[in-house]
Amino acid sequence: MSSVSVRLYKLNIVFPPFRPLMIITQKTTMLSFQVHDGMCKKREDLTADQRLHAVDSKPSLIEYLSYNLNFLSILVGPCSHYKDYIDFIEGRHVQRRLSGSNTGQNGYDKVPEPSPMAAVTRKLLICGVCMVLFLTLTKAFPITYNVDSHFVNEAPFLTRLAYAFFSIQAARPKFYFAWTLADAINNAAGYGFKGVDEAGQVSWDLISNISIWEIETATSFKKFIDNWNIQTGVWLKTVCYDRAPRYPTALTFILSALWHGVYPGYYFTFITAIPITLAARAVRKNVRQYFLSSYPLKLVYDVVTWAATQLCICYTVMPFLLLAVGPTMQYYRSMYFHIHIISILTVIVLSQSHKPRGSSSNGTKPGPYDPHPQAQPQLQPSNNNVKRK
């Protein structure tokens, strides 16, 4: 993959021919680890997630090729777990999640399958909106204007900061479009059923790659990246983060950069994300609990962290879109490297702080306005109260 990436870099070709190879790399490596977990490791040595997805027998050649090269995900993904894909191919994907059982011929004797029509229609409408936004906003806010010499030299710092924010916002719809369309295609084929929540609402988001609302309202760096390219995040967690003996955060970001290709901008982006992630964790661990005693304080905290998160994302992602070293360094100089400096200082200062007494396991002290970690409706493999979608 690296050899192909280098050749495409020399030809100044970005993404299109390379994307299928990136998806195949994800699937091949994830399947390899899951086969290793199922056939070579003791179950007690595995995490709960690793036990769930472990593959206990070696796939046949046709199963392996089908998983890697199926037309549903060959172009832009998403990558999914092998066992989920085989359940889909063998006709028990939906029924297993509805009834918790795979008995019966192909699982069709249990509960009528919910239709994906509503989910597909909604996602295609989102695709249409994203396409229109991309075609209009990208021309209005070109990324390259962030490093335009006249703009950098004449515009005040706050103006440049605001333009960076709007230009990054204008670049997002193309990613929203591609990933939502890929999700809709899988759903239309009957793949991607996640389950039914307590209210009986059906979800077709098992292999969704994006959660637009969670991204746009993210109040932490982690929440943003957890909802961006979700299945790639699952792959990185499966093959690197959960298995790294030391420095899992840094190693995971470096692997992500290597997987994307050889453009220098990718490495600037993911290496910059390391201190920002550590700083965000330190702030949440040491500061957040002081803002949970009342709703106004919690609201102030949410607004400030939302703005900080969005600005940090703009600063981090800009090299990913500029790609080359020259424009990237020009942009960071125009921003005075302020996010680098602030994040590193934050990590240094807050790492000296002691963990507050009575804090919870994640470093935050629960308060009356601290959202419960299980506040979102849980999807269950239940055959009761299914509302057709």
Token pair 């959960």 is found at: 242
Residues 83 and 15 in one domain: yes
Q: What is the DSSP string of 109-142?
A: TSSPPPPSHHHHHHHHHHHHHHHHHHHHHHHHS-
pLDDT at 184 over 60: yes
| Residues paired with 195 in a beta bridge | 203
What pLDDT is recorded for position 176? 95
Per-residue pLDDT band for 15 (boundaries 50, 70, 90) equals low
Q: What is the DSSP string of 195-221?
A: EE-TT--EE--TT--B-HHHHHT--SH
154-160 mean pLDDT: 94
Q: Which of 32-36, 76-80, 344-348, 385-389 has the lowest mean pLDDT?
A: 385-389
Q: Which of 173-187, 232-246, 287-301 has the lowest mean pLDDT?
A: 287-301
Residues near 292 by beta carbon (within 8 Å), at least 6 away in sequence: 298, 364, 365, 366, 367, 368, 369, 370
Residues 43 and 125 in one domain: no
pLDDT at 180 over 90: yes
Residues 204 and 251 in one domain: no
In this structure, is residue 381 part of a structural domain?
A: no
| Catalytic residue (one of 36, 229, 338, 372) | 229
Question: How many angstroms from the chain centroid is the CA of residue 66?
Answer: 25
Domain encompassing residue 86:
2-107
229-257 mean pLDDT: 93
Q: Which of 75-79, 133-137, 380-384 has the lowest mean pLDDT?
A: 380-384
In this structure, is residue 171 part of a structural domain?
A: yes
On average, the pLDDT of the chain sits at: 84
Report the half-sphere exposure of 155 (CA within 13 A, side-chain side): 18
The CA radius of gyration of the chain, in Å to the nearest whole number, is 22
* Cα dist from 326 to 99, 264, 330, whole Å: 56, 10, 6
Per-residue pLDDT band for 254 (boundaries 50, 70, 90) equals very high
Residues 205 and 215 in one domain: no
Residues 170 and 300 in one domain: no
Per-residue pLDDT band for 197 (boundaries 50, 70, 90) equals confident
CB 254 within 8 A of CB 270: yes
Please identify, among 209, 231, 254, the residue that sits at the C-terminal boundary of a domain. Answer: 209
Tell me if residue 145 falls in helix, strand or coil.
helix
* Cα dist from 360 to 261, 289, 342, whole Å: 39, 10, 26
**Local structure of residue 283 (DSSP, 8 states):** H
Per-residue pLDDT band for 353 (boundaries 50, 70, 90) equals low
CA distance 307 to 81: 35
* Cα dist from 260 to 164, 177, 239, 254, whole Å: 23, 19, 15, 10
Reading the block at residue 329, the tokens are: 């360094």
Residues 272 and 344 in one domain: yes
What pLDDT is recorded for position 18? 65
Residues 281 and 344 in one domain: yes
Residues 87 and 129 in one domain: no
Q: State the distance between the two ends of the chain, measured CA to CA, in whole angstroms.
A: 40
In this structure, is residue 386 part of a structural domain?
A: no
What pLDDT is recorded for position 381? 46
79-93 mean pLDDT: 92
In this structure, is residue 37 part of a structural domain?
A: yes
Q: Is 260 a catalytic residue?
A: yes
CB 276 within 8 A of CB 339: yes
| Catalytic residue (one of 53, 260, 338, 354) | 260
Residues near 228 by beta carbon (within 8 Å), at least 6 away in sequence: 210, 215
244-258 mean pLDDT: 92
Residues 234 and 343 in one domain: yes
CA distance 64 to 67: 5
367-378 mean pLDDT: 43
CB 292 within 8 A of CB 365: yes
CB 271 within 8 A of CB 254: yes
What pLDDT is recorded for position 24? 93
Token pair 């037309």 is found at: 71
In this structure, is residue 349 part of a structural domain?
A: yes
Residues 321 and 236 in one domain: yes
pTM above 0.85, yes or no: no
In this structure, is residue 385 part of a structural domain?
A: no
In this structure, is residue 317 part of a structural domain?
A: yes
What pLDDT is recorded for position 267? 94
Residue 359 class from Cβ within 10 Å (0-12 exposed, 13-18 middle, 19+ buried)? middle
Please identify, among 58, 88, 107, the residue that sits at the C-terminal boundary of a domain. Answer: 107
Please identify, among 85, 107, 129, the residue that sits at the C-terminal boundary of a domain. Answer: 107
Reading the block at residue 162, the tokens are: 């605001």
Q: Is 338 a catalytic residue?
A: no
Residues 223 and 294 in one domain: yes
Residues 164 and 34 in one domain: no
The domain total for the chain is 3
In this structure, is residue 241 part of a structural domain?
A: yes
CB 215 within 8 A of CB 233: no
